[in-house]
Structures are given as C-alpha cells and as structure tokens.
Structure 1
C-alpha cells in the first residue's frame, strides 16, 4: 500500500512526479482543475492532448480511463488526464458510474506507477462541476489508493484538496476506512 497524504492547496504547485488532471473527455481543456493545469503548464499540454485526439483517441478519453502527457511548465514530469463521471443522482445509475469513478483513480495511479513515478498528486475527481458528492468521492479515492499494490500506484499518493472543507471530508473518510494518512 502506498503512503497516502492529504493536503489543502494548489495541485499545480505540487512537487511530485505526476499530477492527475480531472479532465473532460475532449482533453481540450476546460474549467476547474483542468483549466488550472492547462494555464499553469502552458501550451505544450494542450498540444499533446490534441495529438492524442488526432491519433490514439479520436473519439475522446472514455470515462474512467487515463492517459499521460507532458507536464509542460509544471514541476511534475507527467500529467495523467482522467475523465470522471458526472453525478446522475442516487440510484442504480450512480452505482454503475461509481465503478467508473473508482476506475478513474485506479487507472491514473496505475499509469503513474507504470511510468516510473515515485509520487502522484490527485484532486477530488468529479467532486467539482460534475457534482459528485464529495464524501463519496473521498471514500472511493481513498479505498482505491489503499488497495493499490506495488505496481498499482506510486509509493506516495497525495490528495491535493481545494479547501479545508474538502480536506475534512477526506480526513473523515480515511478515519471511517481505518486508514492512516499524513
């Protein structure tokens, strides 16, 4: 199991090997975390995303999948783009999409590990404009990180949370899951 850190801050300022981007399926930039990463990292990230769309992903990035690009001007080596699901409201559809949410984290961490990253920083994917309940995102994300084996995540998984309230949600979820986090 990797070491799991929780911090409140700006994901684009993290000094880690890989940063997870809560991207949309188009990979062509957007608001929130996605927009912040593109602004801070510069045009080389968008150029790499456009090349992925031109070649390997002409239909866009499927929800729950992950792909890596350069990190441009960020201190990280890679940006791991993942498309999380939109919250559909409670019910069976939420259960089906929760699997995709878990896959977004799982595939991002595994891709970072396969690239040789020793550390990865991730936001609360889908908890922003996609409307997923933050408490549920916290439980899913932390469970995925805790269950990752040696090749399923880098040795350090850091969740970089945008506010003290989001940090508290992740800390509470970690306690509920019986996880020790830094």
Structure 2
C-alpha cells in the first residue's frame, strides 16, 4: 500500500473516514475542525457532546482519538484526534503526533474501514513545522501494525503536498 497525496478539501473526499485535527473539547474550532463541523452539520456536534469527558472540558486528550459518524459528509465516519501544539519539539511533540496517527489507524481497524484520509495534523494553527509533521505522518503510517487498503494524506496546499511527497521519497 502506497499512501496517496492529494491537495483537496478533506470534507469532500469519498473515503470511509476522514480524520479531524480537533481540539480536546471536540466541540468544533477553526481550520480543518471547523470545516468538518460545518460540512457534517449540527448532528456532529451533538455526537461529540455525547462522548464522555476524561476531565473537565476534555473529551479527547492530545495524542488520542475518538470516532463518530460523518453525518452529512461523504465519509461515513470522522476520526477525531488532537495533535500537539508545537513548542520547539522538547515537550514530547513528536511522540504525541505519532500517537495521533497510530490511535486513528487503530480505530479505523476496529471499525473495519478500508479507506482513511488524514489532514496535516498540527501543521496549521498548532504551529508544527510542516516538513516535520509530514515526516512523522509518513513514518507513523509506515510503522503502523495495520493500515487500510487506501490511505490518503490530504494537503491544504501544494507546498504541504510537497512535504508529504518528500517524506514518502516520491
């Protein structure tokens, strides 16, 4: 399986699941998270609110993942994961970002999904350097115990797609 790299709107992809670069509350936000909530409709927010909190205001701690239906999205499922905010790399950011990919793939496997699309987790407002985020994404997928038949890295720009392609060696 060779991952695909596309420049596209993640919310339009016809895959079994898209991954949401969410915040710990899972109640929507900016960037990819906001776009997914807008496209999926209000039922996504209700499904996220129904997920139990692990502590006050936190439904998904950084590095973990949760799954909900996709509602009005072409994707049947949304896997929500919370990437780390970049603080220079000395606060465990690489391990936490890698965990986002592993946890998301584990949920996809449990759900029996054949196709999953990932955004550039943490590479937007969380400030993770795009080239490093792409390298961790690719390495995490390559090292995963299981990957779906189709795995897509969905880039928000041609530059981000280039980082993925560089990391893939293509």
Q: TM-score, normalised by structure 1?
A: 0.88
Deviation per CA, 1:78-120, whole angstroms, max 9, x where unpaired? 1000000000024x32xx1210000011111111121011000
Structure-2 residue corresponding to 1:27: 26
CA distance in 2, matches of 1:129, 1:137: 13
Structure-2 residue corresponding to 1:36: 35
9-18 or 57-66, larger mean C-alpha shift: 57-66
**SS at 1:117's partner residue?**
coil
Structure-1 residue corresponding to 2:69: 70
Question: How much does 1:57 deviate?
Answer: 3.8
Q: Which runs of 4+ in 1 moved over 2 A?
A: 55-59
**Structure 2 residue ranges without an equivalent (≥5):** none
In structure 2, the CA distance between the partners of 1:135 and 1:20, relative to structure 1 (3 Å rule), is: same
**SS at 1:63's partner residue?**
coil
Question: How much does 1:153 deviate?
Answer: 2.4
CA distance in 1, matches of 2:2, 2:15: 13
Q: How many residues align?
A: 168
| 1:112 partnered with 2:102 | no
Superposed, which structure 2 residues align to 1:75-114 within 5 Å? 75-90=74-89, 92-93=90-91, 96-114=92-110
Structure-1 residue corresponding to 2:161: 167
Structure-2 residue corresponding to 1:14: 13
Question: How much does 1:56 deviate?
Answer: 5.1
Q: 1:17·1:78 contact (CA, 8 Å) conserved in 2? A: yes
| 1:127 partnered with 2:126 | no
Q: TM-score, normalised by structure 2?
A: 0.94
CA distance in 2, matches of 1:122, 1:89: 23
- Which of the residues 155, 160, 173 maps onto 2:149? 155
